[in-house]
Amino acid sequence: MDVLYENLLTLNWAQVAMWAIGGVLIYLAIAKEMEPTLLLPMGFGAILVNLPNSGAAAVIEHLFEIGINQHELFPLILFIGIGAMIDFEPLLTNPKLMFFGAAAQFGIFFTLCMASFFGFEINDAASIAIIGAADGPTSIFVANMLNSSYTAAIMVAAYSYMALVPIVQPPIIKLCTTKAERKIRMNYTGKKVSKRTKILFPIIITAIVGMVAPDAVALIGFLMFGNLIRECGVLNSLSETAQKVLANLITIFLGITIASRMTAAEFLRLETLLIMGLGLVAFIVDTFGGVMLAKIMNLFFKNKINPMIGAAGISAFPMSARVVHKLGLEEDNQNFLLMHSIGVNVSGQIASVIAGGLILAFLAK
């Protein structure tokens, strides 16, 4: 009879606490629909690996080794799917929108300094800062390349705040802008972009980023490969598979694999709370950076820009663009900012990868 309860006796409070955290993640995924595709597998995985003497821990650890630790395979393959989902046309019609994506990466570098200030080693500080990329695969890729010991907390923070974009961004945008600025209307010209441009764009971006930040070329390369499949016009079946089947499959594995880092010993630390706080700072400062660049540009340009679109440079595609569009309609029900904010949003996707690549170029050597 001892067999029935001897394993139970090895249970400790920390493991129970991790079940509770896993339960909260599952609750947020199902009841609040916050990034359910990732938070649900992560929540379930957190329970799974924290059962006393869990036989699943070794299997999930093996998945982590082959899928993330060795060559960051899962996030990279997921990027093929994301690339196939993105339509860069709004950006290509108005390329200067890319500068908002660049400005909205300020939160990453600000948070790097803040994390350093709180005593994190530079590789951990940079890994925490990349939460501000608002992009799960980039966060996983950079944190893993920098051998951060806080990967799980970084993942949970990154995906939680991505899901919280509709709650985090509006008050910051409103704080940084006046009512008159939020009412600025922007015309969308909807210029036609040639197929040649759409095909050359992913190839050229890969070459440029690859030359500047070679450590990130896999990240941008896989993203742009997915986009090339989408835009080439002769691989529609592959494009659909990448967008749906491939992305879904990898997402299932990614979520539960990250849970391998959610053991009580690794996750229940004071630093986890600090990382959650710093992640929030990164999102707030990202939003601030994008909005402020638009306000500065308005000082010099005749055609005024609605500063709210700068906030969409945070990446977090496509939630951030929707948030900005909704805020525009709240102020003026005829102010349609969606195409502009989508353009900024996809530029944020590229800029966040560039930021990750630069961080790796600085620190991964």
Q: By the criterion CB under 8 A, which residues form the site for another protein?
A: 91-92, 95-96, 98-99, 101-102, 105-106, 108-110, 112-113, 116-122, 125-126, 191-194, 196-197, 200-201, 204-205, 208-209, 212, 270-271, 347, 350-351, 354-355, 358-359, 362-363
Query: Toward another protein, which CB reaches closer, 205 or 259?
Result: 205
Identify whether the C-beta of residue 161 lies closer than 8 Å to the C-beta of residue 131: yes
CA atoms within 13 A on the CB side of 305: 26
Q: How far is the CB of 350 from another protein (least distance, A)?
A: 8
Task: State the greatest distance between any 2 C-alpha atoms of the chain, in Å, as a whole number.
Answer: 82
Nearest distance from C-beta of residue 168 to another protein, angstroms: 22
Closest to another protein by CB, 106 or 159:
106
When the beta carbons of 130 and 162 are compared against another protein, the nearer one is 130
Element holding 162 (H helix, E strand): helix 151-163
Q: C-beta of 12: minimal distance to another protein in Å?
A: 24
Q: Which is nearer to another protein, 66 or 362 (CB)?
A: 362
> Closest distance between another protein and the C-beta of residue 164, in Å?
24
Q: How far is CA 267 from the centre of its chain?
A: 20
> Residue 196 or residue 302: which is nearer to another protein going by CB?
196
Q: Which is nearer to another protein, 105 or 239 (CB)?
A: 105
φ, ψ at 70 (rounded to 5°):
-75, -55
- Minimum Å gap between C-beta 20 and another protein is 24
Q: Does the CA dihedral 287-292-297-299 come out positive or negative? A: positive
Task: Let me know: does 262 contact 50? Beta carbons within 8 Å.
Answer: yes
DSSP state of 305: -
We find the least distance from the C-beta atom of residue 9 to another protein, in angstroms, to be: 33
Place of tokens 């569009």: 325
Ramachandran angles phi, psi of 75, nearest 5°:
-60, -35
Q: Do residues 344 and 100 touch, judged by C-beta distance below 8 A?
A: yes
